[in-house]
């Protein structure tokens, strides 16, 4: 009986030792000291008190007849996003613009500068060279404004595409 008891005790100690040497992180061990205790709670409170939430950045892009500026971009934007669109690389974004006025007008394009947007023609492979108009900053994001090189007649349409 004693032999079985010692054998069982030995097996438990060996398995506990093997468990303690596991490379798996211990759930709740925030400070990585190998045990879950009050020190972990203190670490969590410290993290909560000293961390500042990162503000959500809003990015706008625009294609249209109005000259985009820092004062109007949020109102005229085609879309607002919280990150650079990853799908535009494989599936270019349509930038179709039609001059709906009775006069000649420029077609403007505005994107966050860091997106490195390239505008393509209807074939989605020929890069279109646009005239650089300006850059401005809105809510900490720099934007670049381009336009078609010449005025577009009333009723004219451009079907361009953007990749980034």
pLDDT tens figures, 6-36 = 444 444 444 444 444 556 777 877 777 888 8
Q: Are residues 154 and 110 in the same domain?
A: yes
Instruction: Look at residue 7 in the predicted model and tell me its pLDDT.
Output: 42
Residue 133 host element (H or E) = strand 131-138
- pLDDT of 22 reads 58
Q: Which domain holds residue 117?
A: 59-163
H or E element: which one contains 62? strand 59-64
State the total domains in the chain.
2
Kindly indicate the confidence band of residue 5, based on its pLDDT and cuts at 50, 70 and 90.
very low
Residues 136, 153, single domain; the answer is yes
155 — pLDDT class (breaks 50, 70, 90): very high
What integer is the mean pLDDT of 63-89?
94
Cα–Cα distance, 27 to 62 (Å, whole number)? 47
- The first and second tokens of residue 137, run together, are 């900053």
H helix or E strand, kind and range, residue 158: strand 157-158
How far apart are alpha carbons 164 and 86 in whole angstroms? 8
pLDDT for the residue numbered 42: 72
Distances (CA, A) of 8 to 21, 77, 114: 20, 72, 65
The tens digit of pLDDT for each residue in 91-133 reads 899 999 999 999 999 999 999 999 999 999 999 999 999 999 9
pLDDT, position 129: 92
Q: Which two tokens stand for residue 6?
A: 């010692």
Residue range 52-80: mean pLDDT, rounded: 92
Residue 70 and residue 43 share a domain: no
- What sign results for the dihedral spanned by CA atoms 97, 99, 101, 107? positive
Residues 76 and 155 in one domain: yes
**Domain boundary at 10, 30, 50, which?**
50
Distances (CA, A) of 136 to 22, 66, 76, 162: 54, 15, 15, 20
Q: What's the pLDDT score for residue 17? A: 46
- Say yes or no: 70 and 23 in one domain: no
- Res 23: pLDDT: 66
Residue 17 vs residue 41, higher pLDDT: 41
């Amino acid at each position: 009986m004693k032999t079985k008891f010692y054998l069982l005790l030995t097996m438990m100690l060996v398995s506990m030792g093997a468990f303690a040497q596991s490379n798996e992180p211990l759930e709740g061990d925030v400070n990585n000291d190998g045990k879950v205790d009050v020190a972990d709670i203190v670490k969590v409170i410290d993290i909560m008190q000293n961390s500042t939430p990162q503000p959500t950045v809003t990015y706008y892009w625009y294609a249209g007849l109005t000259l985009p500026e820092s004062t109007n971009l949020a109102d005229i934007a085609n879309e607002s996003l919280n990150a650079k669109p990853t799908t535009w690389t494989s599936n270019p974004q349509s930038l179709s613009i039609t001059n709906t006025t009775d006069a000649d007008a420029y077609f403007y394009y505005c994107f966050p500068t860091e997106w490195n947007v390239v505008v393509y023609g209807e074939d989605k492979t020929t890069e279109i060279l646009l005239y650089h108009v300006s850059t401005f900053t809105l809510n900490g994001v720099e934007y670049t404004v381009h336009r078609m090189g010449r005025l577009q007649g009333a009723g004219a349409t451009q079907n361009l595409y953007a990749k980034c």
